[in-house]
Amino acid sequence: MPIRRPRPNTSCEREFGSGGPGADIPHWASLSDNIPFGYELTVPHLIAAPGAEVLIMGGGGSIALYAAGFARAAGAGRVDYVDTDRRRLEIAQALGANAIEREPPKRMGTYAITVDASSNADALRCAIRSTEHEGQCSSVGGHFGYVEVPMMTMYVKGINFYTGRGQGRPNIEKSMAFLDAKRFDVSKITTLIAPFDETPRVLAEAPMKAVLVREPLHTRAFEEVIHSSF
């Protein structure tokens, strides 16, 4: 019988393959979601506006850091990363971003591209106010409730605002092209790699970006038998 998969065009549905020579596959675990989301938030907009300056409001986890890495790799003129967490700020700096430790202000300046990956309403509003006229502001979400936004500012400046789940599947190969070419070292964002059997301990410690690794549950030959039976 066929196996139906929900939303196959927006989630990972194929294997990553070998990843090319020297690829460290555990660090690519987020290719199903976070990594291509970071690509989507930055690279297409930098293709449209080469060398543009980018503001990233961090605080909600690793997506902001992937966005910072892709922005630098795609040739942003400047990448300002705002957060209050010292560990994330250090990673952002290692990725080539200008790490700014502070609470979100009302406005950070003027940027052609802004990204809210903070799960913080003040940071979202800051990103909106910091977007230049006809600029691009994107939010990864994470705001679980009603959030007031400066609609008049958005209207007067004519900014383009996007929020959504992220188009993971369509951007996997595009993201992998950056990783394969060594343009973006995503291993700098992984804070822990641990055996799958240690899952309870790892989840209890809640590291910023953990990857749990285990041996394959079955062989390639077994996979071929299973697929041929359907």
Model confidence pLDDT, tens digit, residues 23-48? 567 777 777 778 889 999 999 999 99
Residue position matching structure tokens 């605002």: 161
pTM of the model: 0.83
**CA quadruple 125, 122, 143, 89: dihedral, nearest 10:** 110
What is the spatial distance between Cα 209 and Cα 62, in angstroms, rounded to a whole number?
7
Model confidence band, residue 148 (pLDDT cutoffs 50, 70, 90): very high
Domain boundaries, given as residue ranges, for the chain: 28-184, 192-228
Tokens of 32: 């199903």
Domain 28-184 architecture: 3-Layer(aba) Sandwich (3.40)
User: Region 2-19: what's the mean pLDDT?
Assistant: 48
CA atoms within 13 A on the CB side of 166: 27
- Among positive and negative, which fits the CA dihedral 4, 18, 191, 120? negative
- Beta strand 210-213 with 192-195 is parallel
Give the model confidence (pLDDT) of 64-121 as tens digits: 999 999 999 999 999 999 999 999 999 999 999 999 999 999 999 999 999 999 999 9
